[in-house]
Amino acid sequence: MKLGLYLHFPFCKAKCPYCDFNSYPLKEDNQISSYISALFKEISIYSQKYKKSRIKTIYLGGGTPTILPGVQIGNILDFCKDKFNIEQNAEITIEANPGTLDGEKIKFLIGSGINRLSLGAQSFSDRLLKKLGRIHNTQDIIDTFHLAREAGFNNINLDIMFALPGQTTEDFKATLKKAVSLYPDHLSLYNLTINEGTEYYEEHQRNNLKLPTEDDEFVMYHWAISFLKKNHFEHYEIANFAQPHKRSLHNLIYWQNQPYLGIGAGAYSFIRGYRYSNFKDPVKYIKEISNDKLPVDHGEKLSLRKRMIETLILGLRTKDGVSFKEFLKRFKVDMNSIFHKQINKLVNLRLLLKDDCQIKLTKKGIFLANVVFREFVD
């Protein structure tokens, strides 16, 4: 069995007001050492369970894993290489905040085998970066990007957000033009979502967030699709754009509903039809591990129908869509025989394209993807 490996580092320098990820501001340095010890222990446990499996991608996410010293990041990866059977050409990605990297640390990342860097740029407007609570500015992004290129990174992603408070369409266009001028290999574009439990949610409840309209958001997104196509980016997933041969191989594992192992606080795994997640709270996570228990908070065996629906929804996020042949091979049942009503309805609504080989979203369907997905869930 081939697996993707996700390692979660939940700490960051400061919690951004829009962020609902499993992340916590770092208060004391000893939090890091305790957490990494627990991480190593969990890696050891699962390496015994999956010693015959091959790891084809590794992804270090957070939080902000790059607040760790470069040596510690290298130690984590060395430990993984010692415990798991990692493919020689494995894609190894680390998420980074531009405000947490310098030339020396970037060289450590390269030396430890990391070959893909994902920079949380978010915007090239200092005004908007400040509103987002980011610890970096525009120049930090540019400097970090150039340092990474000079050090040898030939696969760099930039995360960009849009539909931000106080952001105009022209603001977004300027950000994306600046991002493209750096010649990144990959771009991820995320529209801001207001999630309960965040500072932005409280602000929104008090009507203190001046958000762009849905029409503005539509214009931003469709302009981005057109602009990036002209600049030779392949729009291969709803929110992701890649230069040739630079798709995110780790994220494709998720979108193709393939097995992956998640390690760390709040990490999710999907293996052999089971999905399970670890305790989110790092203190609880560490406590469970120190008591020689797996830190699993919740697990479920997915029904055949649920796995089919998830495979459809995840696959439809991609340019390639869902192949009838691959669906039949995986589930031993014809996709059309199970979902013909939903497929035909969505084709008639011009939200889905269907041919002899696959189904995939239309241009209209890409923007109304949640409408499409609900049709299969309902």
Q: For 103-123, what is the HEC assignment?
A: HHHHHHHHHCCCCEEEEEEEC
Looking at the domain assignment, is residue 187 inside a domain? yes
Residue 261: the pLDDT is: 99
Number of domains in the chain: 2
The H-assigned helical ranges of the chain are: 30-49, 70-83, 103-111, 126-131, 138-151, 169-181, 199-205, 214-230, 249-255, 282-290, 304-316, 324-331, 335-348, 363-367, 369-377
Residue 125: the pLDDT is: 98
Looking at the domain assignment, is residue 351 inside a domain? yes
pTM of the model: 0.96
Q: For residue 90, what are the domain limits?
A: 2-255
Residue 176: the pLDDT is: 99
Residue type, 150: E
Residue 287: the pLDDT is: 97
Residue type, 91: E
- Centre a 10 Å sphere on the Cβ of residue 302 and count the other Cβ atoms it contains: 15
CA distance 180 to 152: 19
pLDDT digits (tens, 9 = 90+) for 9-51: 999 999 999 999 999 999 877 889 999 999 999 999 999 999 8
CA distance 221 to 227: 10
CATH number of the domain that 249 lies in?
3.20.20.70
Q: Which of 222, 255, 288 delimits the end of a domain?
A: 255
Low-confidence ranges of the chain (pLDDT < 70): none
Cβ-Cβ contacts under 8 Å for 354 (sequence gap 6 or more): 343, 347
Tokens of 29: 């340095």
Looking at the domain assignment, is residue 262 inside a domain? no
Same domain as 334, residue 243 = no
Same domain as 192, residue 56 = yes
Q: Is 134 helix (H, G, I), strand (E, B) or coil?
A: coil
Residue 51: the pLDDT is: 87
Same domain as 204, residue 327 = no
Q: Which of 230, 255, 280 delimits the end of a domain?
A: 255
Residue 28: the pLDDT is: 79
Q: What is the separation of C-alpha 171 from the centre of its chain, rounded to a whole number of angstroms? A: 24
Residue 118: the pLDDT is: 99
Q: What is the separation of C-alpha 144 from the centre of its chain, rounded to a whole number of angstroms? A: 20
Residue 30: the pLDDT is: 81
Looking at the domain assignment, is residue 272 inside a domain? no
